[in-house]
Structure 1
Amino acid sequence: VRDLVGREKFIEVYVKCPLHVCATRDLKGIYKKAEQGIIQNFTGISAPYEPPENPDLVIQSDEIEATIAANQVVDLIRRYKII
């Protein structure tokens, strides 16, 4: 996508989080349904997940607060002079 839209218009942010943490945050029970096979092709459980190769920013969401992560994204957007 970066090549299609141009470097100046594309920023990739990888919000990284262990699968077990995602499951504990799941208020709707979607992960449980995927583990039971009720939901098919669920990324990370019944379908593969491929993390980005060269993201502009990696946010380890199980280690930092959402407001800090949001500020990191805004700072990145400012560095690229998008805002």
Structure 2
Amino acid sequence: MDLTQIRDRIDQLDRQIAALLTERMEITNEVAAYKIEHNLPVYHPEREKQVIEKVSALTKEEYRDALAVIYQCIMDESKKNQEHYIASKK
């Protein structure tokens, strides 16, 4: 397999990842709506910790730290998205 073919595989994965991250962010709007309705804070440290631990356990040991960093970024952006959603409903 040449480099172009390998990069094509990466591009395909990137499209899938982007679609899944978009779906995940849209679901955070549903989470934000629930939090508005039940007067809950955006930040829930225990839930965040559980998600990162759960996802990190799904990969090989050598990738766990990287996945934890990536998911921390995803969680940070999810919180920003929820805050923006909540602010738009006030």
- Using the size of structure 1 for normalisation, the TM-score is 0.25
- Using the size of structure 2 for normalisation, the TM-score is 0.24
Which one has a larger percent helix, Structure 1 or Structure 2?
2
Which one has a larger percent strand, Structure 1 or Structure 2?
1
